[in-house]
Structure 1
Amino acid sequence: MSHINVTINGRQYRMACEEGQEVRLLKLAETLESRIETLRGKFGEIGDARLTVMAALTACDELLDASQRIRALEQELESLRTVRAAAADRTRATQVAVSNALNAAAERIERTTQVLNRTIGGGVAIG
């Protein structure tokens, strides 16, 4: 377990994090600090606790919006996968039908050739 110091709203906090997560925790603290500074610029000095709560609420609001968007995109992706699977099934069925039609046509041509060869008699074979 690592420990690092972060500054949020002008105050130092000693935080624990897993090994290798130090940079991420510092980035999170910087992001929160930036939100607080932005709110301070908009609303002035309205109290440290209130600024911190407002910053946390704006972050939670963005997180909620992002979560909803992710869920919507996951549903859209699932729909697209279903459509793709149906299209693939139709494609396979079409390929089988075309293959069967070509085979049937080839068989008819072969039979027609045999009939013509018999009809012509001892003449030159066509096929």
Structure 2
Amino acid sequence: MSHINVTINGRQYRMGCEEGQELRLLKLAETLEQRITNLRGKFGEIGDARLTVMAALTVCDELLDAGAHVRKLEEEVESLRSVRNAATDRARATQTAVANALNAAAERIEKTTQVLNRTIGGGVAIG
């Protein structure tokens, strides 16, 4: 476990984190500090605890919105997968139908060719 110092609302805090997560924790603290600074600029000095709570609530608000957006996108992706699967099934069915039609046409052509060969070859049409 690593320990780093972060600054939030002008105060230093010693925080523990897993190895390799130090920069992420610093970035998170930096982001929270910026939010608090922005709120202080908007509302003035309304108390450290209140500013911190307001910043936390704005983060939670964005997190809830992001979660709802992710769920909507996941539903959209699932819908698109269903459409793609249906299109793939239709394409396979069409491909099979075309192949069957071509095979049937080829058989008719072959039979017609055989009849013509017999007619021309023997002078009498058999068939």
TM over 0.5: yes
Percent identity of paired positions between Structure 1 and Structure 2:
84
**Alignment match, 1:81:** 81
**Alignment match, 1:52:** 52
**Alignment match, 2:111:** 111
**Alignment match, 1:27:** 27
Q: Counterparts of 1:53 and 1:116 in 2: how far apart (Å)?
A: 93
Q: Counterparts of 1:42 and 1:11 in 2: how far apart (Å)?
A: 20
**Alignment match, 2:11:** 11
Using the TM superposition, give the Cα deviation of residue 83 of structure 1 relative to its aligned residue in structure 2, in angstroms: 0.7
Letter in 1 for 2:94: T
RMSD of the alignment, in Å? Answer: 0.9
Task: List per-residue Cα deviations over 1:76-126 (Å, max 9, x = no partner).
Answer: 100110110010000000000000000000000000000011111258xxx
**Alignment match, 1:36:** 36
In structure 2, runs of 5+ residues without a counterpart are: none
In the alignment, structure 1 residue 92 sits paired with structure 2 residue 81: no
Q: Counterparts of 1:94 and 1:62 in 2: how far apart (Å)?
A: 47
Q: Counterparts of 2:72 and 2:47 in 1: how far apart (Å)?
A: 37
Matches within 5 A, 1:64-75: 64-75=64-75
Task: List per-residue Cα deviations over 1:43-80 (Å, max 9, x = no partner).
Answer: 00000000000000000000000000000000110011
Q: Counterparts of 2:80 and 2:102 in 1: how far apart (Å)?
A: 32
- SS class of match (1:121): helix
Alignment length, in residue pairs?
A: 123
Query: Which aligned segments of 4 or more residues in structure 1 are displaced greater than 2 angstroms?
Result: none
In structure 1, runs of 5+ residues without a counterpart are: none
Q: Counterparts of 2:30 and 2:14 in 1: how far apart (Å)?
A: 14
- SS class of match (1:6): strand
